[in-house]
Structure 1
């Protein structure tokens, strides 16, 4: 069965709770999505506000403070917010990806000549004494490896050793601090599930991002040679408009391509836009490659960027469409934008401004 780009779009939006907000808890949504990009510490709050009915920041913040969720380096060697169980599931499976980042290119040159096992051991010892920022960790590591940059040493340890970036970093309403790290073993009591299953992870990817190709799964995870894993799952086969084979669970939602898709505001680096080799199912024509601001959707496709500027008691949502919007679409984007301001900047004077395209 062939699926159009719009059918793939609606299927993705349905699984991401962006066609209709869900009543699930933040913890349940984070697990369903197999984690949320959290390189910008508070971005999951906006991502969950767009996905969950009546979302309250405290509902997510308490999971971080209770260690039910945790922030650590995972997919694409970037910080993700995941459940504690998923931290122990994903971190050992993604070790080849993190090692590849660590030992090749610029990173590899920065730690050339250092025994990785010795560096990892010293990093563990330092962080098991007490949580430390990457800056402080680097200074202590440089006492042993004087000829290397402190920042490079600390970053290498972050990839070598499973580390949690601990609260208050990532907690809504608290001063973020400089991002202290603790070993995952001291923070969660372990670094891995007894038998982490790659098959489980790949199956869950299709639940959250499918229908998708083998290349799509590999783009999301950074892992390679996943054809065998995909092939042994009981998945149905489809094809896209270009004839590429796609896989999906039989019972996953695949709405009609004409299903209405209301505007949604997504945070910086939201995984919905980064988890496929072919991003045409979510990115509209005219995409300029910007990822330093959040994105907003029109008719289900990312159609521009946004940011909030705060000055004293005022908060202005700056909306930058990739192409000129229809009057009806502009009105819907503005209405959703005002709701975003009520969430992100309560008590301030609100305004929505469209930047020229």
Structure 2
């Protein structure tokens, strides 16, 4: 088996590991993954751009937006803050054990900010009581706006992100979670009431499971990638990886070691194997904040340095939706709006902006991807 893939190969292996490419021949007879299968595989899927998160799930599962939303309405998927203080989608039963590993460090990281905002333990206790009372009065679900109004009425100001941090803390302690759909967003519900069968894992098992799931779904990835993604301590990362490394493979690229699932490593083939690694001709439309870029601290395998400012303008943390050709970011795209976009739109909905020129076959693949996105929105 080859053990020295190029960065371009690393990128295409990640397309396969993340389930972005179509099913591989060896598994083509298996049932297609549904929305819950996709999120369970990735463990936590970046979710601050909620419509983009829905497309991340739909792209990997072949599901329509309606089908993905139904998984939230059934209580199978939820959105909360399990990683890095930002919103992520998880399978409902996984949220608790992930937070058992990450919540304390997130609290420590925000302690100074909470002091600046004047959020005390007593303040949090008050808004917790208010939130649970409001849920009881409103049939078990409420909106962000209603929560903020109730906080303000009780003298708990919500300006200057104070309200946001109240909700962050209530989600971190698993009082609240974002669950069923509310138009283009979600209602807040009680975590205890909404999540029916939460998994509980002791810390060593949780560390092992998180490490295994990350490298299986994101690999080839480095230990540094996993540390950035999870924000766990180096000691915890070593403990988790040591427990599962026998279930993983390693490859080396430019002197750096990458961990990945055995079935992903098998795509490299052996010295006598002439098969081509899947994805060389693929053209994909990924949403902003997709795990394909956000899942790693080093994104250079998929994103050229000169294109980074075009993908994340001003390096402000706002990732644009990307056109990915052969595993490399080749441009950005957005939903077409108004008559001015009509001449260049694809499938009546996608407006691309290219960094590099695409060939005729790639344009055909792009048109196919645009039609898939249009079908996701309007089946």
Bin the TM-score by the shorter chain.
0.7 to 0.9
1:253-274 CA-to-partner distances (Å, cap 9, x unmatched) read: 4423942411111112011111
Given that residues 75 and 180 in structure 2 are in contact (C-alpha distance below 8 angstroms), is that contact kept between their aligned partners in structure 1? no
Query: Superposition pairs for residues 124-163 of structure 1, below 5 Å?
Result: 124-129=128-133, 130=135, 131-142=141-152, 149=159, 151-159=161-169, 160-162=172-174, 163=176
Q: What is the aligned length?
A: 333
2:259 is aligned to: 247
Unaligned runs of 5+ in 1: 170-174, 347-357
1:256 is aligned to: 268
Query: Superposition pairs for residues 260-299 of structure 1, below 5 Å?
Result: 260-261=278-279, 262-284=282-304, 286-287=307-308, 288-290=310-312, 291-299=318-326
2:56 is aligned to: 47
Deviation at 1:103, TM superposition (A): 1.7
Q: Say what the alpha-carbon RMSD is for the aligned residues.
A: 2.8
2:124 is aligned to: 120
Provide TM-score, normalisation by structure 2: 0.77
Provide TM-score, normalisation by structure 1: 0.82
1:150-200 CA-to-partner distances (Å, cap 9, x unmatched) read: 74144234234322113224xxxxx236x4323312322587725361211
Given that residues 158 and 164 in structure 2 are in contact (C-alpha distance below 8 angstroms), is that contact kept between their aligned partners in structure 1? no
Q: Distance between the aligned counterparts of 1:208 and 1:317, measured in 2?
A: 28
SS in 2 for 1:340: helix
Q: 1:111 aligns with which of 86, 110, 117?
A: 117
Given that residues 214 and 226 in structure 2 are in contact (C-alpha distance below 8 angstroms), is that contact kept between their aligned partners in structure 1? yes
Q: Distance between the aligned counterparts of 2:319 and 2:290, measured in 1?
A: 11
Deviation at 1:208, TM superposition (A): 0.2
More helix by share: 2
Question: Are residue 341 (structure 1) and residue 341 (structure 2) matched?
Answer: no
In the superposition, relative to structure 1, how do residues 148 and 267 fare at CA in structure 2: closer, same or farther (>3 Å)?
Answer: closer
Given that residues 321 and 334 in structure 2 are in contact (C-alpha distance below 8 angstroms), is that contact kept between their aligned partners in structure 1? yes
Q: Distance between the aligned counterparts of 1:317 and 1:215, measured in 2?
A: 35
In the superposition, relative to structure 1, how do residues 27 and 140 fare at CA in structure 2: closer, same or farther (>3 Å)?
Answer: same
Moved more, 137-146 or 257-266: 137-146
Deviation at 1:121, TM superposition (A): 2.3
